[in-house]
């Protein structure tokens, strides 16, 4: 499965995407350092196998709800890239392919993060979005060496069957019937 690509070669460049992008069985690479602004909700149709990849400082600006199979490639795993949320948008991340699923970029802005994963998905960095975090399914592994990965202002909900493996996290609220794996020992969330 190969990926089509689009490169914005200047940090000041901004491409505005206004209509549907069908990625059902393929991938699409957004290559930076420019920005890609997505207008409206449900603009990407990733289905169960499609994915979007961010590289080389690409910035994805979302002003509506989007469900994206987000993947990045080693060894950088999206480091230096970013996703900015506005207008209270909810970004739902899925894991489109086995073995892929780390994101070292930054998610920021006025919005929410939901994770509907199959298997493990790793996140590093220090995210600063202002809304809630919802782990619907899968195992979210947070890999922040010295500080939390999730924003300290977020409320976190972990659904039954989902799991969070944190390092050092502070959140405003915690709910759900999912599991928190602390130091390799699974504990049910309150």
Pairwise CA distance, residues 140 & 163, whole Å:
6
The strand pair at 185-188 and 179-182 is best described as: antiparallel
What's the structural domain count of the chain?
1
Q: Spell 37-46 as b/e; 16+ CB within 10 A means b.
A: bbeeeebbeb
Residue-number span of the structural domain to which 158 is assigned: 3-188
In the Cβ-directed half-sphere of 3, how many Cα atoms lie within 13 Å? 21
**Would the pTM of this model clear 0.75, i.e. be above it?**
yes
β-pair partners for 166: none
Tens digits of pLDDT across the chain (190 residues): 345 666 777 777 787 887 777 777 777 788 888 888 988 888 777 777 777 888 888 899 999 999 888 776 665 567 788 899 999 999 998 876 655 567 888 999 999 999 998 888 888 888 999 999 999 999 999 886 666 899 999 999 999 999 998 878 889 999 999 999 876 555 556 6
- Angle, vertex CA 102, rays to CA 140 and CA 80, nearest 5: 125
- The structure tokens listed for 27 are 């991938």
Q: 31 with 53: CB under 8 angstroms?
A: no
Preceding peptide of 75 cis, ω within 30°: yes
CB neighbours of residue 1 within 10 Å: 10
Q: What is the DSSP letter of 184?
A: T
pLDDT at residue 51, rounded to an integer: 79
């Amino acid at each position: 499965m190969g990926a089509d690509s689009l490169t914005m070669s200047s940090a000041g460049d901004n491409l505005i995407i206004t209509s549907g992008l069908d990625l059902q069985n393929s991938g699409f690479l957004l290559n930076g350092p420019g920005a890609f602004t997505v207008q409206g909700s449900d603009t990407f149709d990733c289905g169960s196998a499609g994915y979007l990849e961010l590289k080389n400082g690409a910035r994805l600006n979302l002003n509506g709800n989007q469900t994206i199979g987000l993947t990045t490639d080693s060894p950088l795993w999206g480091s230096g890239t970013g996703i900015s949320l506005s207008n209270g948008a909810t970004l739902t991340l899925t894991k489109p392919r086995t073995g892929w699923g780390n994101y070292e970029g930054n998610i920021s802005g006025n919005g929410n993060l939901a994770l509907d994963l199959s298997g493990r998905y790793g996140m590093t960095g220090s995210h600063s979005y202002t809304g809630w975090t919802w782990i619907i399914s899968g195992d979210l592994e947070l890999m922040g060496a010295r500080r939390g990965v999730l924003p300290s202002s977020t409320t976190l909900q972990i659904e039954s069957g989902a799991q969070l493996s944190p390092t050092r996290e502070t959140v405003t609220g915690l709910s759900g019937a999912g599991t928190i794996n602390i130091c390799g020992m699974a504990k049910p969330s309150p």
